[in-house]
A and B are shown apart, each in its own frame.
Chain A
Amino acid sequence: MTPERMAALVARWVRLYTRQLPPPVARRRIGEIDADLHDHIAHERAGGTDDRRITLSIAARMIRGLAADAAWRRQTIAQTSTPEDVMTMSKAASRSVARVALATAAILLVPLVATLTTDGEGWSVADFVFGAVLLGGTGLLLELAVRKPRSLAYRAAAGAIGVAAIALGEADDAPGLVLFGCLLILGTIALSVRTALRSE
């Protein structure tokens, strides 16, 4: 690898860790490192250092500074976030949790009423706990997927849970679980379509 390629790699890393920071802060760090890399290569070449050693020296400087880069990013975010930003994020998170809790309670009301009003075999406490964890966990996953629609990970996880629910429901002869899985997969597809349309 040439020193220029290594410098380009470092420059890419700098652009990555300065993402979403206030533009003046990000521009300053990017500009400083770009100048440093240029000066480093020019100085070493003028001194007759071979390219391999220059490349290694640039890579070593980047690696030694990784922890400081991450710490600097964290501190910059903490210093530049206004109390309003923190309050908005906190309110949005509270609303998400409230929505998921309400939906979970509403869905679990159906088997609860059935258990209380019919003489047949109803749900045990363990069944309700399992159902609450399954519904609540999936709800939070969908909230994350909606909030970060470009992140494929959450949508993939929601889809995988849907497939698993259908498979388990089929094996255990549980039509409710199959329906849950189908709804989850349909929701994931709808979210993916919406994200694709918005990014066009």
Chain B
Amino acid sequence: MPRRKPDTLLPLEAEILGAALSLRRSGQAAFHGFGLARAMREQSGSRALTGHGTLYKALGRLERFGLLASRWEESAAAEGRPRRRLYELTGQGAEVARQAAADAPGRAAGRPPRVASEPA
């Protein structure tokens, strides 16, 4: 895994934010771990789903950065299956996700997206 530079996102974190933004645009503001893994697989065109440890560790980091917020699903909504942890992009998270998407050409050139939006 690449080393983190201060105030920058790892490629996986940018990918998570991108998938979260796509889900939000499609009307699904709240998402759960497996749903996100599926969305990421579809976006990247990969055949494999992100590893459990990799995915949930990255989600925890993004929550610590204030880019995602999470809560447990209501018991009634779970309908007998294990309750899901639901994530949502925060305002700052949505801004960073948009910026990461806009910076995609820069990222291809090796410049990682920034965690905080850069001053104008």
**Chain A residues within CB distance 8 Å of chain B:** 10, 14, 28-29, 31-36, 38-40, 42-43, 57, 60-72
Q: For A33, list chain B residues within 8 Å (CB).
A: 52, 56
Are A39 and B34 within 8 A (Cβ)?
yes
Are A36 and B33 within 8 A (Cβ)?
yes
Over the window 13-46 of chain B, the binary record of Cβ atoms lying under 8 Å from chain A Cβ atoms (1 yes, 0 no) is: 0000000000000000000111101100000000
Query: Looking at the complex, which of B78-86, B92-100, B102-110, B111-119 is the stretch in contact with chain A?
Result: B78-86
A32-B31 Cα distance, complex, nearest whole Å:
12
Number of A-B contacts (CB under 8 A): 83
Q: For B32, list chain A residues within 8 Å (CB).
A: 35-36, 39
Are A35 and B84 within 8 A (Cβ)?
yes
We find that the number of chain B residues with CB closer than 8 angstroms to chain A is 23
- Pick the contact of B82 from A35, A61, A70 — CB < 8 Å? A35
Are B34 and A36 within 8 A (Cβ)?
yes
Given A36-B33, A39-B32, A39-B34: A31 in contact with B83 (beta carbons within 8 A): yes
Are A31 and B72 within 8 A (Cβ)?
yes
- Pick the contact of B85 from A32, A61, A70 — CB < 8 Å? A32
A57-B48 Cα distance, complex, nearest whole Å:
8
Q: List 20 A-B contacts (CB under 8 A).
A: A14-B52, A31-B72, A31-B82, A31-B85, A34-B82, A35-B32, A35-B81, A36-B37, A40-B49, A57-B49, A62-B53, A63-B51, A64-B50, A64-B54, A65-B50, A65-B51, A65-B54, A65-B55, A69-B53, A70-B53
Q: For A43, list chain B residues within 8 Å (CB).
A: 34, 38
Q: For B53, list chain A residues within 8 Å (CB).
A: 62, 64-70, 72
**Chain B residues within CB distance 8 Å of chain A:** 32-35, 37-38, 48-57, 60, 72, 81-85
CB-CB nearest in chain B for A14: B52
Are B57 and A39 within 8 A (Cβ)?
no
Are B84 and A39 within 8 A (Cβ)?
yes
- Pick the contact of B81 from A10, A38, A63, A69 — CB < 8 Å? A38
A39-B55 Cα distance, complex, nearest whole Å:
15
A71-B37 Cα distance, complex, nearest whole Å:
20
A28-B57 Cα distance, complex, nearest whole Å:
12
Are B57 and A32 within 8 A (Cβ)?
no
Given A36-B33, A66-B53, A69-B53: A60 in contact with B82 (beta carbons within 8 A): no
In this complex, the member of B37, B38, B48, B60 whose beta carbon has the largest number of chain A beta carbons within 10 angstroms is B60
Q: For A40, list chain B residues within 8 Å (CB).
A: 34, 49
Are B83 and A35 within 8 A (Cβ)?
yes
Q: For A71, list chain B residues within 8 Å (CB).
A: 57
